[in-house]
Amino acid sequence: MSEPETPLHAPPNEQLDLSKIKELDEDDMMDLDLVSESENPDSRNSSSKPEFKRPFAEDETMYDNIDDFKPRVNVGSPFNSNTDIGQLRSSQHLRKPRGRLSLSQQSKFISYLDEQLMNIQRKFVQSRGLNTENGYSGLTPLLQDLKSVIDFIWYSIDGTTPNTEKLLTEDVSEVSIEQFDGSRSTYFGQTAYLMRVGDDIMDYTEKFDLGQLGLSEQENVIPKLFKLLFILDHIFARLLDGTIPGRTKMNLTDAVRMRAIAERTRTRLTRYLSQKQVHGYHYEVSKIYEESLERCGG
């Protein structure tokens, strides 16, 4: 088998004749595309991929503007149009806290609440198509019925505030526990019903399509939803602080359950408003159960 011939090499110490080296012409130099880094320092970091910039459309709708993060719900306005806020603020001084209900009264209290909550559930089911004439015509009357239940529960605890709209005008952090020194306890487990209402709010709300309402209708319904949640937040914060007659505090089991409801409500309402294309309530969403979660370490 023949071996390949060894290529010729220049002998040692032989001088190289540079005149015989063929130079590259201009076309060959252009094909090599050689660019000095000193002439173009950005060449070493340049990418072969073309730069793509998203075209800007003048009519493009942008939602996350600064106005969306400003308060839109006037918590000082009445929940119902026939409520006199001024009268509510002065009515507390006309009443004195009562003691705890007797066992027979507690039994009637529980029966009444069960009946009211069942009526709300029945009307809600009827509004889903079974009997629309006897069901809820929208979310607003349902929220009003839930608020009536909350009013009744809170009055059994506080004994001085039959209308919880008054709580919206108060700073819960300014309610001193010392003012309840020597008072008789009125608490017998009402937290369970308050949490039941709080847990039901989103279950009911998500079944209504607020996105189909006009702007004026949305501005009437949505503030009521937030106000109801703010009222519950105030009540839960008071129960966690023990700023109620008898200075009774919410137990740890109820606090854990309440925190789960609060966190779940914040997440679900945010997702619901986004799905229904309802924008501009970022501030109110951030305030949902804020006081209660702060006391739970949330």
At 75, the pLDDT band (50, 70, 90 cuts) reads confident
Instruction: Give residue-wise pLDDT tens across range 181-226.
Output: 989 999 999 999 999 999 999 999 999 999 898 888 999 999 999 9
How many domains does the chain contain in total? 1
Answer with the residue of higher pLDDT: 44 or 234. 234
* Cα 145 → chain centroid: 23
Is-contact 206 273, C-beta < 8 A? no
CATH code, 170: 1.20.58
- Measured distance CA(298)–CA(8) in Å, rounded: 84
Structure-token pair, residue 66: 């600064």
pLDDT for position 6: 67
In a domain, 3, yes or no: no
In a domain, 179, yes or no: yes
Q: In sequence order, what are the residues at sequence separation of 6 or more whose Cβ sits closer than 8 angstroms to the Cβ of residue 116?
A: 145, 148, 149, 152
pLDDT for position 56: 47
pTM: 0.73
In a domain, 73, yes or no: no
Structure-token pair, residue 167: 């709580």
What average pLDDT does the segment 99-127 reach? 93
In a domain, 98, yes or no: no
- Measured distance CA(106)–CA(101) in Å, rounded: 6
Is-contact 144 80, C-beta < 8 A? yes
In a domain, 61, yes or no: no
In a domain, 15, yes or no: no
At 264, the pLDDT band (50, 70, 90 cuts) reads very high
pLDDT for position 20: 62
In a domain, 207, yes or no: yes
Q: Is the pLDDT of residue 284 over 70?
A: yes
- Measured distance CA(294)–CA(298) in Å, rounded: 5
Q: Is the pLDDT of residue 34 over 90?
A: no
Out of 76-80, 90-94, 198-202, give the one with best mean pLDDT: 198-202
Q: In sequence order, what are the residues at sequence separation of 6 or more whose Cβ sits closer than 8 angstroms to the Cβ of residue 146?
A: 120, 197, 200, 201, 204, 228
In a domain, 259, yes or no: yes
User: DSSP H helical segments within 166-247, as ranges?
Assistant: 191-205, 215-241
What is the extent of the structural domain holding 192? Answer: 139-295
